[in-house]
Amino acid sequence: MRVFRSKVLAVATLFFVAAACTGTTPESATTEEDAASSSEDVTLKWLIEEPEDAAALQALEDHIAEFEAASGITIDIDTLPWENMRTILQTQLRSGDGPDVFNWGAGPSWGGALAEAGMLLDLTDAYEERGWDVYDFAVERVTAGDQIYGIPGEMEIIGIFYNQEIFDELGIEEPQNLEELRAAAETVREAGILPMAVSDKAGWEGGHLLSMSLSSNIGSDAMEALFEGEQSWDSPEVVESLQLWKDFHDADFLPPSPTSVDYDTAISTFYAGDAAMLPTGSWLVNEIDTNADFEVGYFAFPAPDGNGIFAGGLGSGPFVNAQTEHPEAALEFLDFLASPEHAKWTIENLGSIPPIPTTGEDLDVSPLMQQVVDDVSGFADGGDFGYNIDVMVGDAFNEAMYDGIQGLFTGQTTAEEIAANLAAASDS
């Protein structure tokens, strides 16, 4: 579960694979002390990403207090800045001093690497025994071989937020294809407003840009072919999807120097009404509802010949340390985190959408949040979604993608050179 603004889709460097071994089952990890002790004696340490909003953390603590009161288990919530989590968590897990439960990303470069290193409790039997009702597609993302190693985090999509007031004033309709997006951006630019608040200072933002344009350009099946190595990353379609952002930059649809703009500055530009569109993920809905004093819409990055598809993925979710001294208590805590009631609470209070069936019609959320919930529900209904590239690939690939797109914006690299580097990184 991602609790706060996601950067899960950003950097993916892990070093656990070298110590690969088999994960630990709940039965084998259960200690006699744990079985003998009552839940009232148990304190679990839960590590999550440090919130940017103290009120969100307080709300979560108040919510977790309900579990503590019902179970008698104390939850000691610890937070770390996301950029520090992987290094510190790695050290803690290796030293045997790690948290009992921690939030981490799904996929082979994230939880999969920890599972291969034997650092995660095997939850395969727990899923069946405890009846955790998680969407099948999401469970596949936290499965390595025959082992289910975690509960997948919230469902996220990446698309384009837009200022409805600016669109209305300029007579712009929601773009239905790529040409209409270009026309909309030209109209906004001619009105003296920045068309798109794009940032790429950290590098990971560029990965999201390519995820959007490529997903809509070639569709989910072709994306999967790229990840499976059945298609090459230096294909003309990949080059086109990269070149598109260079063309947008040259057309002044983006800030003059995206690589000098950080993510928060881009968001603030959108909130201030100085940019008409903001390409980013659904994790920002709660912040938009709080900070934007205008109506906001959301659409998938358009395809050349029609409506595109959202780039979709999963944020971080709860995993259990294989070395926890309290595996049964940890599983009881996961019962709570995997419950429909907790899922509904996170949607309404944190703006994150767990991959767990909920009664969407009963949600007390903003129209924008309801739209995203409806869009994201397509995951479970077999809808067509693209991919967030950076959670599907390894470190070398991400480095080539981040550096390459930054070079594209600074004129140091061409789309063809980036695609060639991606192909090389994919083959390495």
167 contacts: CB under 8 Å, gap ≥ 6: 173, 174, 184, 276, 297
The Cα–Cα gap between 194 and 224 comes to 34
The Cα–Cα gap between 400 and 419 comes to 9
Neighbours of 145 (CB within 10 A): 12
Q: Residue 104 in contact with residue 52, Cβ under 8 Å? A: no
Token pair listed for 291: 């900070």
The Cα–Cα gap between 343 and 299 comes to 24
The Cα–Cα gap between 320 and 380 comes to 25
Out of 17-21, 306-310, 342-346, 389-393, which region has the weakest mean confidence (pLDDT)?
A: 17-21
Token pair listed for 353: 């959408």
Q: Alpha carbon of 184 to those of 52, 152, 206, 264: distances in Å?
A: 33, 37, 22, 24
Q: What pTM value is reported for the model?
A: 0.79
Q: Which residue has the higher pLDDT, 391 or 200?
A: 200
| Residue 397: alpha-carbon gap to chain centroid | 18
Token pair listed for 49: 């990403």
Q: Is the predicted pLDDT of residue 42 greater than 60, yes or no?
A: yes
The Cα–Cα gap between 428 and 424 comes to 6
Q: 353 pLDDT band (50/70/90 cuts)?
A: confident
CA angle 271/273/277 to nearest 5° reads 80
Element holding 161 (H helix, E strand): strand 155-163
What are 295-312's pLDDT values in tens digits? 999 999 999 999 999 998
Q: What is the dihedral of CA 34, 40, 41, 46, to 10 degrees?
A: 80
* Secondary structure E strands in 197-345: 275-281, 296-299, 311-314, 317-320
Q: Is the dihedral of CA 162, 163, 166, 172 positive or negative?
A: positive
Q: Is the dihedral of CA 395, 397, 402, 403 positive or negative?
A: positive
Q: Which residue has the higher pLDDT, 21 or 168?
A: 168
- Side chain identity, residue 266: A
- Residue 157 main-chain phi, psi, to 5 deg: -130, 155
Q: Please give the pLDDT value at position 358.
A: 67
Token pair listed for 219: 């569709």
Q: Residue 217 in contact with residue 400, Cβ under 8 Å? A: no
142 contacts: CB under 8 Å, gap ≥ 6: 106, 111, 148, 149, 150, 151, 152, 317
Average pLDDT across the chain, whole number: 87
Q: Please give the pLDDT value at position 52.
A: 67
The Cα–Cα gap between 388 and 207 comes to 8
Q: What is the dihedral of CA 406, 407, 410, 416, to 10 degrees?
A: -120
DSSP state of 288: H
Give percent above pLDDT 90 in the chain: 63
Out of 24-33, 60-69, 338-347, which region has the weakest mean confidence (pLDDT)?
A: 24-33
Residue 290 half-sphere exposure toward CB, CA atoms < 13 A: 13
Element holding 215 (H helix, E strand): helix 204-227
- Side chain identity, residue 211: S
Q: 209 pLDDT band (50/70/90 cuts)?
A: very high
Q: Residue 239 in contact with residue 415, Cβ under 8 Å? A: yes
What's the rounded mean pLDDT across residues 80-87? 81
Looking at the DSSP bridge assignments, the partners of residue 296 are: 163
Q: Please give the pLDDT value at position 26.
A: 43
Looking at the DSSP bridge assignments, the partners of residue 76 are: 45
Q: Which residue has the higher pLDDT, 393 or 150?
A: 150
Q: Residue 280 in contact with residue 210, Cβ under 8 Å? A: no
